[in-house]
Structure 1
Amino acid sequence: MTRREIWGIGLIAGAAVCGWAAQAIIDAFRAAAREDLVLYIGVPADSIAFRFLVVALLSGAVGLWFLIPALIRRIPKKVPRHIIGWSTVAAAAAAVPAFGLMLLFGALGAFGIGDTTKIVAADGRSVLVSQDGFDGDVVVIYTRHDDFHYRFAREAPEISGWPRVKDQNCRLDTAAGGELKLSCGSKAVIVAEEGITQ
């Protein structure tokens, strides 16, 4: 077995592990979403899953690039080797647009077309503020449910638009009645405490 074959097998195995991890994280994210929760592990879990997917796609492509030519060269007869070789090149050329689209959408999911910002109050309670990446007109606030989940609290058009929430010096304070007050610049919204568990 040549070094290229060993690298090819290793990269394909790594791609399989990354693909499995991406699917496991997406399954956990979807299970949380069925209960109106967001799985958050420093960043939203779907973003982590898409990062694994991008690594799996790139690792798998490079692994195949290493492994397939080495295997084709092992075919002893010239005519079948050329037929299989050119057929493989044609199949790879046909797959490039689909691979490119998967990589593009994987990268958009991984590195985002929106922002999710965690804001913590002085008493330790926190909220996630999610803002769409296009014109910033959709802002959604999630309150802490447990260590890794946040529950939908409300939409907040009051703080939408520009500048983006992540670029403002937002502050989370305890308001009257135990509710939370999210202040971003001169704008403020009240966030109901439902869904927060201490």
Structure 2
Amino acid sequence: MSRREAGGTALIVAAALCAYAYHAIYGAYRAAAREGLLLYIGIPADSIAFWFLVVAFLSGASGLSLLLPALIGRIRKKIPRRTVGWLTGVAAAAAVPYFALVFLFAALGAFGIGDTVKIVAADGTSVLVTQDGFGGDSAVLHTEHDEYHYKRVRDAPEISGWPRVKDQKCRLDSAGNELQLFCGDKTLLVAPDEAGM
């Protein structure tokens, strides 16, 4: 086995492992979403999953570009080698538009179409505010459910639009059983039952 073949094989194995990680993490994210929860590990879990998918695409394509020419070159007879080469090229050209579209959506998911802002109070209590990435006219408030999950509490139209939540100096205060979120001149009250207290 040549270095080229070994490198291509290693990249394809890495792509398979990344694809497995994508499915596992995205599956956990979808399972949480069915219960009205957001899986959050520093960033939303769906973004982490899509990063694995982007890496899987890039390493898989690189691995195939190293491995296929080496394997096709091993065919000794000229006509079968050229036939397999041309068929491989035609199949790759036919697959490129589909995989390019899937890669585009994976990259959008990895970079995040919207914003997720974590705001932490002095006592360590935190909330997440998610805002869509297009007009910014949809903001949603999430409170802590457990270590890695946040529960959707309600829509927050008071802080939607411009400036975006991430550009505002938001702070969270907790007094007794009450959470108050301050963003600019807006104040949002999170009721005790909403915060899971």
Q: Which residue of the partner structure matches residue 4 of structure 1?
A: 4
5 Å matches for 1:115-126? 115-126=115-126
Give the TM-score, by structure 2 length.
0.97
TM-superposed CA distance for 1:100, in Å, is: 1.0
TM-superposed CA distance for 1:195, in Å, is: 5.7
Letter in 2 for 1:169: K
Name whichever of 27-36 and 76-85 sits farther off. Answer: 27-36
Q: Confirm or deny: 8 A CA contact 1:29 1:46 kept in the other structure.
A: yes
TM-superposed CA distance for 1:112, in Å, is: 0.9
TM-superposed CA distance for 1:196, in Å, is: 4.2
Give unpaired runs (5+ residues) of structure 2.
none
Residues 1:180 and 2:189 are matched in the alignment: no
Distance 1:64 1:113 in 2: 30
Name whichever of 98-107 and 130-139 sits farther off. Answer: 98-107
Letter in 2 for 1:157: P
Give unpaired runs (5+ residues) of structure 1.
none
SS of corresponding position for 2:147? coil
Give the TM-score, by structure 1 length.
0.96
TM-superposed CA distance for 1:99, in Å, is: 1.4
Matched positions, count? 197
SS of corresponding position for 1:40? strand
Q: Which residue of the partner structure matches residue 38 of structure 2?
A: 38
Distance 1:14 1:116 in 2: 29
5 Å matches for 1:56-95? 56-95=56-95
Considering only aligned residues, what root-mean-square deviation do their CA atoms show, in Å?
Answer: 1.2
Q: Which residue of the partner structure matches residue 160 of structure 1?
A: 160
Q: Confirm or deny: 8 A CA contact 1:182 1:188 kept in the other structure.
A: yes
Residues 1:55 and 2:55 are matched in the alignment: yes
